[in-house]
Structure 1
Amino acid sequence: MVVPAAQEEEGMKKIRFTPLFFRRIHKWVGLILGVQFLLWALSGSMMALLDQEKVGGHSAQASHQHALPAGDYIAPAKLALDGPVLGIALRSLATRRVYELRSTTGTRLIDATSGAPVRVDEQVARDVATMVNEAPIRKATLLAEPNVEAREHEGTMWRLDFADAENSSAYISADTGRFLVMRGDTWRTWDFFWMLHNMDYVNRTSFNHPLIVFVAFGTLWLSGTGFYLLFKSFSRADVRWLRRRRKSAVKLGAG
Structure 2
Amino acid sequence: MKKLRFTPLLFRRVHKWAGLVIGIQFILWAVSGTAMALLDSAEVAGRAAPSPQVIGNAAETLLPPARLGIGTGTDALQLRMLAGKAVYEVRSKGSVRLLDAATGADVTVNAILARSVARTANGSEITSVTRMAEPNLESRDFSGPVWRVNFSDEVNSSVYISAITGELLVSRGDTWRIWDFFWMLHNMDYAERASFNHPLIIAAGFGVLFVSTTGFYLLFKSFRRREFRWVPFMKDDRKRIVTR
- Note whether the superposition's TM-score is higher than 0.5: yes
Deviation at 1:61, TM superposition (A): 2.6
**2:65 corresponds to 1:93:** no
Question: Aligned runs of 1:217-236 on 2, under 5 Å?
Answer: 217-236=206-225
Aligned length: 232
Q: Take 2:99 and 2:231, find their aligned partners in 1: how far apart are those partners?
A: 89
Find the counterpart in structure 2 of residue 201 from structure 1. 190
Question: Aligned runs of 1:92-241 on 2, under 5 Å?
Answer: 92-240=81-229
Find the counterpart in structure 1 of residue 50 from structure 2. 62
Q: Take 1:156 and 1:214, find their aligned partners in 2: how far apart are those partners?
A: 35
Deviation at 1:57, TM superposition (A): 3.8
Deviation at 1:138, TM superposition (A): 0.5
Q: Take 1:79 and 1:150, find their aligned partners in 2: how far apart are those partners?
A: 33
Q: Take 2:120 and 2:45, find their aligned partners in 1: how far apart are those partners?
A: 19
Q: Take 1:189 and 1:115, find their aligned partners in 2: how far apart are those partners?
A: 45
Gap runs ≥5 in structure 1: 1-7, 248-255
Gap runs ≥5 in structure 2: 236-244
CA deviations on 1:58-109 (whole Å, 9 max, x unpaired) are 4x4323x321122210010111226611000110011111000001141000
TM-score by length of 2: 0.91
Deviation at 1:208, TM superposition (A): 1.6
Q: Take 1:170 and 1:243, find their aligned partners in 2: how far apart are those partners?
A: 68
Find the counterpart in structure 2 of residue 4 from structure 1. none
Q: Take 2:192 and 2:72, find their aligned partners in 1: how far apart are those partners?
A: 37
Q: Take 1:243 and 1:232, find their aligned partners in 2: how far apart are those partners?
A: 18
| Correspondent of 2:7 among 18, 34, 52 | 18
Q: Take 1:178 and 1:94, find their aligned partners in 2: how far apart are those partners?
A: 10
Q: Take 1:238 and 1:202, find their aligned partners in 2: how far apart are those partners?
A: 51
Find the counterpart in structure 2 of residue 27 from structure 1. 16
Q: Take 2:145 and 2:197, find their aligned partners in 1: how far apart are those partners?
A: 28
Find the counterpart in structure 1 of residue 32 from structure 2. 43
CA deviations on 1:178-210 (whole Å, 9 max, x unpaired) are 000000000000000000000000010001211
The secondary structure found in structure 2 opposite 1:99 is strand
Q: Take 1:121 and 1:243, find their aligned partners in 2: how far apart are those partners?
A: 81
| RMSD, aligned CA | 1.7
Q: Cα 1:208–1:127, aligned 2, differ >3 Å: closer, same or farther?
A: same
Find the counterpart in structure 1 of residue 242 from structure 2. none
The secondary structure found in structure 1 opposite 2:153 is coil
- Identity across the alignment (%): 52
Q: Take 1:82 and 1:203, find their aligned partners in 2: how far apart are those partners?
A: 41
Q: Take 1:43 and 1:24, find their aligned partners in 2: how far apart are those partners?
A: 29
- Higher mean C-alpha displacement, 199-208 vs 74-83: 74-83
**Contact 2:156-2:174 at 8 Å conserved across structures:** yes
Matching residue's letter, 2:3: M
TM-score by length of 1: 0.87
Q: Take 1:82 and 1:137, find their aligned partners in 2: how far apart are those partners?
A: 40
The secondary structure found in structure 1 opposite 2:73 is coil
Q: Take 2:12 and 2:24, find their aligned partners in 1: how far apart are those partners?
A: 19
**Contact 2:46-2:176 at 8 Å conserved across structures:** no
